[in-house]
Amino acid sequence: MPTGHRYDELEHAIDGVLASYDSDEPINSLDTAALPNKRAVIDAWGHLEPALFMGFYSHRALDRHNLRHGIAEHLYAAHGLLVDQIDRSTRYRKWHGMTVSGCPLGSAEEVVLGLMRALPEIRRLLAGDVQAAYQGDPAAESVEEIVFSYPSLRAIAAYRVAHVLRRACVPMIPRIITEHAHGHTGIDISPGATIGERFFIDHGTGVVIGETAVIGNDVKLYQGVTLGALSVHDRGDRRQRHPTLEDEVTVYAGATILGGDTVIGRGSVIGGNVWLVSSVPPNSKVFGRAREANGG
């Protein structure tokens, strides 16, 4: 605790910060009771993630007799947190007129129960993602090593849960979940992206996957890949801004692929540090400025 003139200086600084809230700056929102609580959303994710991988997160031995109890502990906690936070985010959006055309939102309770019902399918997709990592990375000694230590799996798991909430038109919360994973992994996957089965990001640091990107099955990305927008349309323009990668595409480190009209055909290989703003046909190989099409 400061004393003497240091106390007076601190009080003066506090008054200055307080006065700054009298302006019209957009970061001055004081209706915090309406906003979702970021820490509570992350706490909810902290219960959902173990429920997806109970055998890896449990602090006690698990078997078929106590597994249900362990899952229930996490899902009851996640349910309570998410219902409250989704309700708050929805009310905030309504109060500020932040409507999304063609995107009806059910009650918070309905949305959360829908997410819970989707968890078995999310686990099936994640099992495929783990297998893709094991088969695609000769350095992986076991699937257990991948679940424990690969940042890409953590980022993909967060994306797959957040994507369900995004499809249910939940505002803000899906992005909080994926940005939390981004902070821990260096992998930025928008919850709005559409990603198929058996997806693998090798190494992963610096990967960016934009909101309207479409990724097929059995796609593999390396570190530093960007699937971005070529230009920024008006906010109300809902056209696809990010590229499409069809099935079995591989994109090597540092490549940048931009634009909603850009389609990378099935089975293509995009080399490291390539810059692409136009489509390539199936089975193409693109390295530097040279393109070798049709597998030749």
Burial of 45 (0-12, 13-18, 19+ CB in 10 A): buried
**280 bridge partner residues:** 264
Examine the domain organization and report whether 58 and 176 are in the same domain: yes
44 occurs within a structural domain: yes
Task: Judge if 45 and 181 occupy the same domain.
Answer: yes
Tokens 């939390």 sit at which residue? 180
Per-residue pLDDT in tens (0 to 9) along the chain, 296 residues:
666 678 888 888 888 888 888 877 777 766 655 688 999 999 999 999 999 998 777 777 777 778 888 889 999 999 999 999 999 988 877 765 555 556 667 789 999 999 999 999 999 999 999 999 999 999 999 999 999 999 999 999 999 999 999 999 999 999 999 999 999 999 999 999 999 999 999 999 999 999 999 999 999 999 999 999 987 666 666 789 999 999 999 999 999 999 999 999 999 999 999 999 999 999 999 997 544 444 44
Does 63 share its domain with 144? yes
Question: How many angstroms separate the CA atoms of 53 and 132, rounded?
Answer: 17
Q: Is residue 8 part of a domain?
A: no
Q: In the chain, what is the greatest distance between 2 CA atoms, to the nearest angstrom?
A: 79
N-term to C-term CA, the chain: 73
Please name the residue that has the structure tokens 């389609």: 263
CATH number of the domain where residue 179 is located: 1.10.3130.10
Show Cβ contacts of residue 42 under 8 Å, excluding neighbours closer than 6 positions.
176, 177, 180
Which of 156, 186, 216 lies at the terminal end of a domain, its last residue? 186
Amino acid type, 271: G
User: Is there a single domain that holds both residue 169 and residue 213?
Assistant: no
**The domain boundary residue, chosen from 186, 221, 240:** 186
204 and 274 in a single domain? The answer is yes
Question: Is there a single domain that holds both residue 170 and residue 233?
Answer: no
* Enclosing domain of residue 86: 34-186
Residues 38 and 182 in one domain: yes
Number of structural domains the chain divides into: 2
Q: Residues 295, 283: contact at Cβ < 8 Å? A: yes
Same domain, 150 and 55: yes
Instruction: Tell me the residue length of the chain.
Output: 296
